[in-house]
Structure 1
């Protein structure tokens, strides 16, 4: 049995300001619409760290500093690829906030997050972002019978 598999790497970053607010993006993508944190795909040959800094800048106008890896989300796609989302968080950034083609971005109090329509399964990912004893949101099963485990 081969240990090699196709994989897609992406990232997402929880950015918190000095007032305890989090930066969210109201995504326009019909494949995964709703409020979530900014992030995107890792380009071939790009480090994971550089990719999250680039993606946050492209989607928000902010340059983040010292993002810390705090967890992962992973699942198998219908094409049998492993889809990995590297979860980062930081409280250090500079720049002027601006929207992008991905969607509008804005600051909200963390406790207000559930007042918005969240992207599918984002609540599970939030638990990994915010719980030190969790490091992974892992989906197992096939097609429609996927179930999430928080590990």
Structure 2
């Protein structure tokens, strides 16, 4: 099999009171605009997974979180991405502040409510795989 370039995405499952935080991608986003996503982003060269996640969550939501554990890795043959998913908790309950060029809405949802949203492909796949079942 030929080698191909791919991206590493680091995402946080930020849980509070049985709900997780999801963000709706802005219309100007080049990939899957309008889809719901978890906070996170692409790993930068020389950055640890954990540092990437803390940076991305802060940039996208203004929240401070503590990383609890790695939930798992996910990839799909049809997409050039590998996602690392971490369970996180809020260190202080704060108001979510979005960057409007990236996300236009946020919601705290249960896993059942998550299934009714238009999800970015990796999130739909990990929900179907049961990677978020520990929240039930």
Question: 2:25, 2:36 within 8 Å by CA — same for their partners in 1?
Answer: yes
List alignment gaps of at least 5 residues for structure 2. Answer: none
Once residues 58 and 126 of structure 2 are traced to their aligned partners in structure 1, the CA distance between those partners, rounded to angstroms, is 21
* TM-score normalised according to structure 1 size: 0.69
Give SS of 2:115's match. Answer: helix
Once residues 15 and 47 of structure 1 are traced to their aligned partners in structure 2, the CA distance between those partners, rounded to angstroms, is 19
Once residues 76 and 111 of structure 2 are traced to their aligned partners in structure 1, the CA distance between those partners, rounded to angstroms, is 27
Task: Considering fraction of residues, name the structure with more strand.
Answer: 1
Higher relative contact order (CA 8 A, sep 6+): 2
Give SS of 1:129's match. Answer: coil
Aligned length: 127
Give SS of 1:115's match. Answer: coil
CA 1:7–1:114 in structure 2 vs 1: closer, same or farther (change >3 Å)? closer
CA 1:62–1:77 in structure 2 vs 1: closer, same or farther (change >3 Å)? same
What RMSD in Å do the two structures reach over aligned CA positions?
2.7
Q: Which residue of 2 aligns with 1:14?
A: 13
Once residues 14 and 27 of structure 1 are traced to their aligned partners in structure 2, the CA distance between those partners, rounded to angstroms, is 16
